[in-house]
Structure 1
Amino acid sequence: MPNYRLTVDTGGTFSDFVLLNEETGEHRVLKVPSTPDDPGRAILDGLDVLAKDGVKASDIVFFCHGTTVATNALLEEKGATVGLVVTKGFRGIYETQEQSRPYGPAVFDLKYSRPPLLAPGRRTAEVTERIGAEYEGMLSMEINEVDWFMALYEHYLEQGMSEDEVMEIFKGIAANSVMVDGHATQMDQLAAGQYAVAMSTYDYQTAGIAATGAPLDYEPLVEPVVQRPNGVALLNSAPHPAAAYLFYMWILTDGQEVLREAGLRSSLEAEADDGLQGVETLFVDPSELVEQYDHYEQLYAEVTGR
């Protein structure tokens, strides 16, 4: 059974294949037309040609792929329109680069002209960063966010971080944050400019205050987005228990559509992803939250210092 090594170079016009038989040293060169709309299709076309000549995919023990497509896009300036976001105060650093001098022999070329910027100044924006001790007090955290904390804590553990590393992240945020009791209070203070960022909030609260003219927004969403279920319960002392029970059943069924029409998202897990397609989400498991609440409440209290 022969062993083959195959390399492919995907170009703008042709895709070149070089096939080497490791046992005999013989090699073969093949060209197939490139398929710019889907470069991978040209590779499959070339493999089909080789297969018809008796080269089985199982006989290829090494495969290497390179492409000049990206290089061509840069040289021909046919790539996507891009912008640049930089730290406030560094707007001109990309354009300045190392003054105006190139590398190599061109450094002595008096007529040298730099290539155009991928992101010109008109598409460059500055942002004020929210990290470091100098931003103390510009962030806010809600002190009862146990479910939000639990979802992210477990997410970061699944990503391979240690418990100490996760706690260090949250403690670092808390060190530069104002602690607030209640989301409504947090949103009011955020709208008033008492701080710049709320680490967690309900999207409908933000949208509601923004509708009044406050300069607030929760989009673009910061992923992963934590989806938390909202509870509904009956009071033992309800004056009209039957009516309360009917309302309870309605809010969990037909009432969900009314909530959606009001701009809220369903709290039912089966419907909670509506409107969040393509967004990484973490859904808070109510049963796990009940079972683990004391544990995560203690950890979050350690984070917030309360």
Structure 2
Amino acid sequence: MPNYRLTVDTGGTFSDFVLLNEETGEHRVLKVPSTPDDPGRAILDGLDVLAKDGVKASDIVFFCHGTTVATNALLEEKGATVGLVVTKGFRGIYETQEQSRPYGPAVFDLKYSRPPLLAPGRRTAEVTERIGAEYEGMLSMEINEVDWFMALYEHYLEQGMSEDEVMEIFKGIAANSVMVDGHATQMDQLAAGQYAVAMSTYDYQTAGIAATGAPLDYEPLVEPVVQRPNGVALLNSAPHPAAAYLFYMWILTDGQEVLREAGLRSSLEAEADEGLQGVETLFVDPSELVEQYDHYEQLYAEVTGR
């Protein structure tokens, strides 16, 4: 009695069958018309064809089914109308997502727009529910926040604390914190109520999610506020390094106005202190960070338990 392995791929036009005889290694390919009104009928039609050729259902020891019907429905935006039910206060989290763009040329496309949502806001409903009490009062720390840690570590030393005392503070915070890899993930989980406080976040991410209705805020500011620079680097293998250099020079100068017109926050130095008058701030020195990175990375790993 032969043993067969059968796989079926249901497509929009045809359903493909591959039958493998485990004993001989021989295989057969069969194609039958799909039946969109009931995809299962095409599978039964194919089994009938195989049965007429002597393949008994009892001889099939493995059956695997895959389909592109659902994928096609997504790509063609066809199918049933769907809605989304979310926790009250988080109506905008689905639309906000990670606030990021796909990798590739779209990263630099100032007019990029996301594909339409499967469940737009008008079909999103909020319900009152209780988010797990086990998360109440918990903190979160980003595991790669070495520059933030360095700025505060040195600040507390300047205030007269010893290195052991500073480490004790951070270890105490870490003991009651969830460790998160990535600020976007941290903000999504914070908005979903998985913890109450994020120890270090980007203000624009918090403001963006809060604008969608999530109950988040970064004001009043908790002092001292850490200001960190962002940098850009060119690959030494870039095909047109001079053009890339000119592009970044434009982004950091005249391009800031274009970014502002596109609704993004400018990074011009004149605007960096906007809203921070009278607030104690700590600035991360890029040169010092580069020189001392390994040292502070090791200390922060000791704090977070990485």
Normalization by structure 2: what TM-score?
Answer: 0.53
The secondary structure found in structure 1 opposite 2:193 is coil
Deviation at 1:77, TM superposition (A): 66
Offset of residue 10 of structure 1? 91
Question: Structure 1 pair 193/46, CA: closer, same or farther in 2 (3 Å)?
Answer: closer
Count, aligned residues: 306
- CA drift at 1:154: 0.5
**Bigger relative CO (Cα 8 Å, ≥ 6 apart):** 2
* 1:130 partner SS: coil
Residue 42 of structure 1, CA deviation: 98
Q: Does the CA contact (< 8 Å) of 1:7 and 1:18 recur in 2?
A: yes
Change in 2 beyond 3 A, CA 1:158/1:125: farther
1:129-176 CA distance string (max 9 Å, x none): 999999787100000000000000011111111111110000000000
The answer to which of 216-225 and 50-59 deviates more is 50-59
Distance 1:55 1:275 in 2: 76
Distance 1:71 1:230, change over 3 A: closer
Measure the CA separation in 1 of the matches of 2:108 and 2:244.
85
CA RMSD of aligned residues (A): 25.8
What percentage of aligned pairs have identical amino acids?
100
Q: Deviations over 1:3-35 (max 9, x none)?
A: 999999999999999999999999999999999
Deviation at 1:235, TM superposition (A): 2.3
Distance change in 2, residues 1:297/1:3 (3 Å): same
Q: Which piece of structure 1 moves more, 240-249 or 57-66?
A: 57-66
Question: Compared with structure 1, are the counterparts of its residues 263 and 32 closer, same or farther at alpha carbon in structure 2 (3 Å cutoff)?
Answer: same
Contact 1:204 1:264 in 2 (8 A): no
**CA gap 1:59/1:206 in 2 versus in 1, 3 angstroms:** same
The Cα of 1:214 is off from its aligned counterpart by: 1.1
220-229 or 125-134, larger mean C-alpha shift? 125-134
Contact 1:265 1:274 in 2 (8 A): no
Report the counterpart of residue 166 of structure 2 in structure 1.
166
Judged with a 3 Å threshold, the aligned counterparts in structure 2 of structure 1 residues 204 and 120 are, in CA distance, closer, same or farther, namely closer
- Which runs of no fewer than 5 residues in structure 1 stay unpaired? none
Higher deviation after alignment, 157-166 or 259-268: 259-268
Q: CA, structure 1 residues 61+149, in 2 after alignment: closer, same or farther (shift >3 Å)?
A: farther
Aligned-partner Cα distance in 2 for 1:79–1:290: 53
Instruction: Classify 1:114/1:160 alpha carbon distance in 2 versus 1 (closer, same or farther; 3 Å).
Output: farther
The alpha-carbon deviation at position 246 of structure 1 amounts to: 1.6
Q: What is the rounded CA distance, in whole Å, between the counterparts of 2:46 and 2:182 in structure 1?
A: 62
TM-score (norm 1): 0.53
In 1, the alpha carbon distance for the partners of 2:13 and 2:135 equals 52
Partner of 2:80: 80
Structure 2 segments unaligned to the other structure (5+ residues)? none
